[in-house]
């Protein structure tokens, strides 16, 4: 095992003695790289954005924007990182930096380096030019928000995790849409043609704690069997917030985010299996539209910056009742594959959560994958009610998976988030739908049932009464969007 180190702006920098909770942001700023800033410390503002060389789909390497405020620097051992300082200099600005400057995209400058890195990641996306202005990403469905996709294929969703409070977003959009293709001599574009650094086994010791990345799944399971109290880390989009805002610390952190056994995606005749350590962006790209309900989920799940790090396994593993993947996966009748030294077992997601942030997962077990059975339901939707359209936490989230044949509901799966101590199935509503006609009258009756599902609470995001009302409205909205041909013609 080599001494831990990170390549930053082309220079190899050792990580000796770094405490496992030290974020990439704090480490970088401690080394004098002050471009990335701390604005929110929870991954919502993007001022800390940096670029990391990660495995790509359209090219061997894809420059990926990540929140440095959430990611432990130890998680980047052996990896390649670029900050805004590494992209260009005052005497030789990077194309992204130049376009932002000449189009008035910076005032106070606090958020600008983060915008630069997020915009650069999209600038270097290998399939950007092929995407075209209407869909943004290959395989994505055309959306009505055409202003979010430029004539150069630039997808403004890439900047959904970056906030600016003084310049306004029009100059930044103008800068993004003005970018052409990287020139032939661009070293960052050329870097995409070689694979990213291999992810090696890691052990970083500092501050009385350890950060360990095992080489493979058996090694991770053996380690967790001996230390069941260890913190299991994937994208760190949850634990990173606790580190920053609640001073959370762990004696042992076991990173599973790059384990090859947890990073597979298999589409078979009976199921779609998604590795637990694939990021949501990777899942979106690899599925390429094969699971329409997840295509509705992805744009509403936090921001691109978060989805570049967050994993399905991590989102389910935290057990949060407001995690957005669970309602969608419940609607798809998904199951969770749990691995331990004794072997694997498969648990229906509907039976996985047992209480607030509690589950059937035993000490030492890991979520290896999520399985979605085939065929998928024909009528699907993901409705998220939040105070902001993007980059926000759900007040209520609803996943729908229905089969309607000859005007009758033959099968119904409805997943709910934000209305109980756990994500849950709306079983009373499902029973009220199955075997009945898919008509407005019947749906209104079932919507009254749905408004009574769960045990919603009053909190700073929404009142219990509002949450209940939104449940009923979600079913009415689904019917409006998916009326039968007979109703449409009536």
Q: How many CB atoms sit inside 10 A of residue 183's CB?
A: 8
What is the structure's pLDDT at 145? 52
Mind listing the pLDDT tens digit for each residue in 117-145?
A: 999 999 999 988 755 554 444 434 334 45
Could you tell me if 61 and 53 are in contact, meaning their C-beta atoms sit under 8 angstroms apart?
yes
pLDDT at 31 over 60: yes
Residue identified by tokens 């995790």 is: 161
- The pair of structure tokens assigned to 379 is 């009528």
The DSSP symbol for 419 reads S
Considering the chain, what is the average pLDDT of its residues?
93
Could you tell me if 374 and 286 are in contact, meaning their C-beta atoms sit under 8 angstroms apart?
no
Mind listing the pLDDT tens digit for each residue in 223-274?
A: 999 998 999 999 999 999 999 999 999 999 999 999 999 999 999 999 999 9
Mind listing the pLDDT tens digit for each residue in 288-312?
A: 999 999 999 999 999 999 999 999 9
Sheet holding 265-267, edge to edge: 265-267, 271-275, 366-373, 335-340, 343-348
Mind listing the pLDDT tens digit for each residue in 347-372?
A: 999 999 999 999 999 999 999 999 99
What's the mean pLDDT in 385-409?
Answer: 93
What is the structure's pLDDT at 418? 96
pLDDT at 394 over 50: yes
What's the mean pLDDT in 137-158?
Answer: 70
pLDDT at 380 over 70: yes
Domains of the chain and any CATH numbers? 5-191 (3.10.20.30), 202-261 (3.30.43.10), 379-490 (3.30.390.50)
Mind listing the pLDDT tens digit for each residue in 54-104?
A: 999 999 999 999 999 999 999 999 999 999 999 999 999 999 999 999 999
What's the mean pLDDT in 318-344?
Answer: 96
Closest CA to 234 of 462, 72, 421, 469: 72
- The pair of structure tokens assigned to 222 is 């053996």
pTM above 0.85, yes or no: yes
Q: Would you place residue 16 in the very low, low, confident or very high pLDDT band (cuts 50, 70, 90)?
A: confident
């Amino acid at each position: 095992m080599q001494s831990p180190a990170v390549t930053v702006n082309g220079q190899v920098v050792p990580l000796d003695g770094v405490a496992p909770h030290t974020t990439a942001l704090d480490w970088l700023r401690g080394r004098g790289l002050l471009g990335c800033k701390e604005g929110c410390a929870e991954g919502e503002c993007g001022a800390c954005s940096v670029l990391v060389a990660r495995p790509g789909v359209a090219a061997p390497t894809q420059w990926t924007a990540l929140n440095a405020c959430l990611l432990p620097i130890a998680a980047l051992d052996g990896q390649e990182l670029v900050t805004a300082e590494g992209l260009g200099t005052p005497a030789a600005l990077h194309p992204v930096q130049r376009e932002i400057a000449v189009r008035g995209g910076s005032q106070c400058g606090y958020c600008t380096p983060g915008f630069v890195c997020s915009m650069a990641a999209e600038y270097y996306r290998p399939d950007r030019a092929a995407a075209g202005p209407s869909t943004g990403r290959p395989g994505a469905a055309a959306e009505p928000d055409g202003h979010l996709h430029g004539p150069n294929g630039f997808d403004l969703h890439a900047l959904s995790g970056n906030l600016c409070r003084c310049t306004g977003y029009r100059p930044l959009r103008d800068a993004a849409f003005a970018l052409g293709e990287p020139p032939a001599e661009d070293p960052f574009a050329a870097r995409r043609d070689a694979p990213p650094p291999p992810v090696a086994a890691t052990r970083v010791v500092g501050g009385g704690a350890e950060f360990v990345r095992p080489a493979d799944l058996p090694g991770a399971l053996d380690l967790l069997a001996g230390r069941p109290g260890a913190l299991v880390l994937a994208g760190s989009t949850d634990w990173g917030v606790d580190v920053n805002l609640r001073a959370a610390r762990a004696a042992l952190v076991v990173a599973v985010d790059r384990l090859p056994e947890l990073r597979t995606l298999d589409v078979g005749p009976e199921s779609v299996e998604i590795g637990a350590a694939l990021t949501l962006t990777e899942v979106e790209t690899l599925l390429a539209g094969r699971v329409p309900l997840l295509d509705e989920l992805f744009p509403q799940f936090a921001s691109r910056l978060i989805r570049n790090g967050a994993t399905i396994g991590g989102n389910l593993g935290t057990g949060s009742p407001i995690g957005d993947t669970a309602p969608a996966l419940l609607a798809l009748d998904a199951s969770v594959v749990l691995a331990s030294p004794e072997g694997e077992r498969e648990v229906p997601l509907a039976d996985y959560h047992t209480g607030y942030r509690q589950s059937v997962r035993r000490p030492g077990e890991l979520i290896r994958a999520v399985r979605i059975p085939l065929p998928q339901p024909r009528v699907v939707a993901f409705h998220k009610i939040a105070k902001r359209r993007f980059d926000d936490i759900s007040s209520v989230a609803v996943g729908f998976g229905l089969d309607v044949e000859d005007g009758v509901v033959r099968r119904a799966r409805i997943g709910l988030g934000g209305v109980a101590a756990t994500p849950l199935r709306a079983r009373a509503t499902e029973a009220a739908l199955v075997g009945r006609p898919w008509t407005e009258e019947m749906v209104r009756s079932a919507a009254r049932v749905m408004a009574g599902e769960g045990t919603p609470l009053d909190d700073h995001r929404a009142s219990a009464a509002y949450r209940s009302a939104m449940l009923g409205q979600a079913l009415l909205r689904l019917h409006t969007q998916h009326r039968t041909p007979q109703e449409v013609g009536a």
